[in-house]
Amino acid sequence: MSGRYDAIIIGAGHNGLVGAAVLARKGKKVLVLEARDHVGGMLGDASFRVAPLPYALRPEIARMLQLDQKRLHGAKPVETLAFGSDGPPLRIIGGQVTGTDAITEHDYAILHARLGRQARALGVMMLQSPPGLGKASLGEMAGLAKMALKMRLLGKTEMRDLLRIILSNAWDLLNDEIGDGPLAGALAMDATLGGAMGPRSPGTVLTLLYRMASQSSHGHGLRVMPEGGPDALVKALSDCVTSAGGEIRTGVAVEKILVDQDRAAGVRLQSGEEIAAPLVLSNASPKTTLLTLLGVEHLDGEFIRRCRNMASKGMVSRLDFDIAQMPSLRSGGKIEQGQRLVFAPTMQAIEASFNAAKYGDLPERPVFEATYDTTAKRLCVTAQFTPHDLKGGWTDDAKSALASSVMAALEEALPGLSSAVTASRVMSPVDIETGYGASGGHWHHGELRVDQLLMLRPFDGAAQYRMPVKGLYLCGAGAHPGGDISGAPGFNAARAALRDGGH
Ligand SMILES: Cc1cc2nc3c(=O)[nH]c(=O)nc-3n(C[C@H](O)[C@H](O)[C@H](O)COP(=O)(O)OP(=O)(O)OC[C@H]3O[C@@H](n4cnc5c(N)ncnc54)[C@H](O)[C@@H]3O)c2cc1C
């Protein structure tokens, strides 16, 4: 065995880095092992990033890790441009929308403020270990009590409203409050992006509140991008690990988690090298960690069944278009750096895309969000409802068909765009699965839905970060509270390990 560490972190995704930083700052000798040749996981590097819009980092984590607050959260809020079927896009910043009628502007501001308050109350649980089913510790009960108190503080009417809508669907809520159109489309995208649910699916108000919880944590319901973008965030996180004495090795894939007398004992790399540590945190997805890296020989039959049955088929593809010269919008004006462009003209359009994907087909008119990097001259598109299990598979033809339908929608808003494309690239959920060890290529490493949330995340019996083999913890998006670039699962998992004594 080479070296000896207090803790090994498998994967240098942003959650792995956050977990490593928390442990290293508590004096643990930490080693992070990353299969790819760069750190950051899906945040990637300048050549390619799966997640181009990292505005969900919890400010509490940034504070705790003493990341440069000003650099990470001092940048200007993200503006969303919501494109309808014609006319200029609506412009949305937090609870303000322009480009629609005065009544909708007013109704939206009220709805946004109300959902923001409710999201803040639920958001308390984001940095808490979920309570165990049947046996909850004092700390876990305190977390629940804090959330209950926050909900109580909403007042009777609003608390009742929250309990009424929380498990219902975004379609009904948004239709009632603002009617269908590009504004509802943009909100319904937030409710469904990354998951296998359409706006009519039950539980999509909860997933909308999940997204809003990270925005609300900035105080005004704003999305705020780190200054310097994803690169600055990745660098700040990896510097945080190394400045606390942690080591990071890239280009080294873990092949096996070593177990000695029912305890985690370290890892074996694909090269055959073995490294000892009594504590192993895995940033890989739950299925990869448990079924591949740990191995079923260490798990009981029922646990294996639940793990295999966990829903984790990804629905999202990434497309990059290199652009020689970005044309102007049909409605006038230019796309600016950091803007989020949402192409979901109605909730109806989102539901129709979902219907196709449910049966393994690509939608005729995909719904997607995009952002334009003015320095790299690259348009990064995140296309929803492109199923992992595509009928006929992810052939080159299927990828071209997806790129063409996305480009057709873009061309309507940006005439001349298609002839300005110099190169393009499509990464399907299958490519994401292969490239990042995330089962199903799933955004959250496992579907974020009512039966895979809180004490049921990633699945019943595997919640609270601790795995059946002592000393082994899940610290990635598959664990509570789920994906997005929040850092919360990494933070919570490291704290759970420290509470257990750190070994
Ligand atoms: C198409 C798409 C677009 C997205 N866009 C956004 C966005 O704009 N904003 C946002 O907030 N979220 C976005 N997300 C979601 C976000 O990317 C994920 O939720 C987040 O990256 C999860 O972070 P993580 O650290 O848990 O895991 P990951 O980022 O998946 O990192 C896991 C790391 O573990 C490594 N690893 C796995 N197995 C091994 C092994 N055996 N040995 C060593 N290393 C290993 C992987 O290489 C990887 O680096 C997007 C997701 C997808 C699929």
* Cβ of 50 below 6 Å from ligand 1: yes
How deeply is 44 buried, as exposed, middle or buried, from its count of CB atoms within 10 A (0-12, 13-18, 19+)?
buried
272 pLDDT exceeds 80? yes
Pick the closest to residue 318 from 223, 401, 402, 234 (CA basis). 402
- Residue-wise pLDDT for 9-21, tens only, equals 999 999 999 999 9
Cis, bond preceding 481 (omega within 30 deg of 0):
yes
Q: Is residue 69 very low, low, confident or very high in pLDDT (cuts 50, 70, 90)?
A: low
E strand or H helix at 111: helix 102-123
How far apart are the C-alpha atoms of 258 and 255, rounded to whole Å?
10
CA atoms within 13 A on the CB side of 487: 27
Q: How far is CA 318 from CA 80, 208, 225, in A?
A: 19, 22, 19
Tokens of 12: 């240098």
Find out whether the beta carbon of 11 lies less than 6 Å from any atom of ligand 1: yes
pLDDT tens digits, 424-472: 999 999 999 999 989 899 999 999 998 998 889 999 999 989 999 999 9
What's at 110, amino acid-wise? I
Of the pLDDT bands very low, low, confident and very high (cuts 50, 70, 90), residue 248 is very high
Place of tokens 């299958």: 430
Helix (H) or strand (E) holding 93: strand 90-93
* Tens-place pLDDT, residues 355-379: 999 999 999 999 999 999 999 999 9
In this prediction, residue 342 has a pLDDT band, given cuts at 50, 70 and 90, of very high
Q: Determine whether the shortest distance from the Cβ of 36 to ligand 1 is under 6 A.
A: yes
**pLDDT over 60 at 72, yes or no:** no
Q: What pLDDT, in 10s, does the model give residues 383-418?
A: 999 999 999 999 999 999 999 999 999 999 999 999
pLDDT tens-digit map of 210-219: 988 876 555 5
Full-model pTM: 0.95
The response to whether residue 15 sits with its C-beta less than 6 Å from ligand 1 reads yes
Q: Does the Cβ of 284 fall within 6 Å of ligand 1?
A: yes
Is the omega angle on the peptide bond into residue 226 within 30 degrees of 0, that is, cis? no
Tokens of 445: 């490493």
Q: Is the distance from the beta carbon of residue 210 to the nearest atom of ligand 1 less than 6 Å?
A: no
Query: Quick one: pLDDT band at residue 168, thresholds 50, 70, 90?
Result: very high
R_g of the chain computed on alpha carbons: 22
| Closest atom of ligand 1 to CA, residue 293 | 41
| Nearest ligand 1 atom to alpha carbon 429 | 53
According to CATH, the topology of domain 2-43+232-309+448-499 is FAD/NAD(P)-binding domain (3.50.50)
Can you tell me which atom of ligand 1 is nearest the CA of 369?
8
CA distance 84 to 342: 9
User: 122 vs 146, which has greater pLDDT?
Assistant: 122
The pLDDT assigned to 154 comes to 82
Atom of ligand 1 nearest to the CA of 441: 53
Side by side, the strands of the sheet bearing 2-4 are 2-4, 274-276, 263-269, 254-260
Q: What is the mean pLDDT of residues 238-266?
A: 97
Phi/psi region, residue 316 (left: phi>0; alpha: psi -120 to 50; beta: rest), is: beta
Domain residue extents for the chain: 2-43+232-309+448-499
What is the DSSP code (8-state) at residue 266?
E
Among 110-124, 134-148, 172-186, 483-497, where is mean pLDDT lowest?
Answer: 134-148
